[in-house]
Amino acid sequence: MKKSISDVLLRSLKAPETGRVEISDVARPGLRFRIIPSGKRTWIFEKRIKGGPKRTHTLGTYPETSIKSARAMALELELEATRGFDRIAEAEREAERKVQAELSATSVQRVLEAFDALHLANLRTGSEVRQSLLAAMAPYLSRDIASLNRKTLQGIIDAKAATGAKVQANRVKAYLSKFTKFAWQRGYIENHIGVGLEKACKEVSRDRVLTVWEVHEIWDATFKLSDIAGGIVRLLILTAQRKNEIARLTWDEVSAEQSWIELRGRRTKNGKAHITHLSGPAMKEIEARRGISDSPFLFTTTDKAPFSGFSSLKRQLDEHLRKDFEHWTLHDLRTAFATEMASRGELETVVDRILNHAASGSAPSAVARVYNRSQYLPERKRILNDWAAVVTGPRPVKSTKVIPFKAGAA
């Protein structure tokens, strides 16, 4: 439908139960306002390039991007299209030029940049792998990659293991193997020198399971941390989600109307879109962050990037726990939730959905992906509400007897 768009109109729009609602702006042809069931409100501009294809551009979300700003951006794109300038095609050409330039270089640094552009950029954890490789290979970045050999690579792994970080050394080994395979396949090195590298240790699954009593102790300790750190841990406890999924939470991923978090596939470990219900206490934690800054991130110390100081957070949190508190990790909060709710008779299938564990089998159809994302939503909502009551209610009788929940891969 076409309307004269105003703030009064946009604020009055309700999210549809299914599908989407779009309004075309009469003041700027091609500019559309879109609202979807999650409550996300987005500006879209569509225009045919002179002598070329029709292009669709996402201009931002409302109200972060105002009506005035959206119209200004749309006008700029319209003028470019009239001149025959295709911003999307130009970005693709620039990316290709960058890749070709990187492929022509031979230093470790240059090949790493090519590896990043061609491979890591497509991975959800690509930035973490890149940083790990840069740190591990720092002394060799300016060298010709042909000078690397298996002895050098194994030395990097062994040096990391000598610091006590043996599991991280195993990760470095995997990253080096993948990187050197990339270099070998493209002719930068004559042999795949990453084959046969030895791991620093054999990894075993953790048996640590926090009791509800211990979760209460951690919950109480969070109120002695900063507002950001305490809020993150409390939300981790209440939602049972992964730490980076909560720490990097953005406002457009939160639906106050639906009382849930909706993550796109690129934000989750298994690459699948995921909905997490927000109980009353969880919603309270989120609302406490509203209006603190103009950042798109709920938890940030810079207003530009999401919170990332988990090592310091965990260290401070441990200082407020009793001295004999057994070693634990933030990830153990997920296991504590799953174990407790399964012990109360909840279906492991539903608990797994809440945790967004990876499913086995072949890739699902488009219909199945939508179904799986929303499957068991009422049950998931009830379980997370019950869990919030456990966490925020009276401290239970102290017990150390637990049977770990192991239905899915964490």
- DSSP annotation of 234: H
Q: Are 64 and 128 within one domain?
A: no
Question: Above 50 in pLDDT, residue 410?
Answer: no
Q: What is the pLDDT of residue 365?
A: 44
The reply to whether 199 falls in a domain is no
How high is the mean pLDDT of the chain? 88
Question: Does some domain include residue 287?
Answer: yes
Final residue belonging to a domain, choices 167, 185, 203: 185
In a domain, 299, yes or no: yes
* Last residue of one domain, picked from the residues 52, 85, 118: 85
Q: Which residues contact 360 (CB under 8 A, 6 or more apart)?
A: none
Question: 217 and 361 in one domain?
Answer: yes
Start-to-end CA distance of the chain, whole Å, equals 45
Both 219 and 173 in a single domain?
no
Whether residue 29 has a cis bond before it, omega within 30° of 0: no
Identify the pLDDT of residue 269: 82
pLDDT score at 408? 52
Tell me the C-alpha distance between 83 and 190, whole Å: 48
From 125, 227, 103, select the one nearest 175 (Cα to Cα): 125
Q: Residue 399 falls within a domain, yes or no?
A: no
Query: Are residues 63 and 119 part of one domain?
Result: no
Amino acid at 404: P
Going by pLDDT thresholds of 50, 70 and 90, the confidence category of residue 357 is: confident
Please say if the pLDDT value at position 45 is more than 90: yes
Does 205 reside within a domain? no
Residues in the chain: 410
State the average pLDDT over residues 122-132. Answer: 83
Cα 157 off chain centre by: 27
Cα distances from 397 to residues 162, 210, 217, 328, in angstroms, run 43, 14, 13, 21
CA dist., res. 356 & res. 351, Å (int): 9
Are residues 333 and 256 part of one domain? Answer: yes
Residue 65: strand, helix, or coil: coil
pLDDT band at 406 (very low <50, low <70, confident <90, very high): low
Mean pLDDT of 206-222: 89
By the 10 Å C-beta count (0-12 exposed, 13-18 middle, 19+ buried), 355 is classed as: buried
Same domain? For 290 and 329 the reply is yes
> What is the average pLDDT across 243-263?
94
Residues 67, 105 within the same domain: no
Q: Give the integer Cα–Cα distance in Å for 296 and 306.
A: 9
Judged against a pLDDT cut of 70, whether residue 128 lies above it is answered with: yes
Residue type, 134: L
Residues 184 and 193: beta-carbon distance below 8 Å: yes
What's the pLDDT at 103?
53
pLDDT at position 374, please? 55
For residues 377 and 310, membership in a common domain is answered with yes
Asked if the structure places residue 201 within a domain, the reply is no
pLDDT at 399: 54
Residue entry with tokens 């298996």 = 150
Q: Is residue 56 part of a domain?
A: yes
Give the mean pLDDT of 101-109: 70
The long-range contacts involving 225-228, CB below 8 angstroms and separated by at least 24 positions, are: 225/313, 225/316, 225/317, 225/320, 227/288, 228/299, 228/300, 228/301, 228/307
Domain shared by 259 and 288, yes or no = yes
Asked if residues 265 and 273 have their Cβ atoms less than 8 Å apart, the reply is yes
Whichever domain contains 36, its CATH number is 3.30.160.390
Question: Do 238 and 360 have their domain in common?
Answer: yes
Residue 105: band (very low, low, confident or very high) from pLDDT cuts 50, 70, 90: low
Instruction: For residue 190, tell me if it sits in a domain.
Output: no
Counted domains in the chain = 3
Question: Using an 8 Å Cβ cutoff, are 211 and 400 in contact?
Answer: yes
Q: Identify the domain containing residue 6 by its residue range.
A: 2-85
State yes or no: pLDDT of 97 exceeds 90.
no
225 and 347, same domain (yes or no): yes
Query: Are 81 and 98 contained in the same domain?
Result: no
Q: Which of 319-333, 347-361, 372-386 has the lowest mean pLDDT?
A: 347-361
CATH number at residue 244: 1.10.443.10
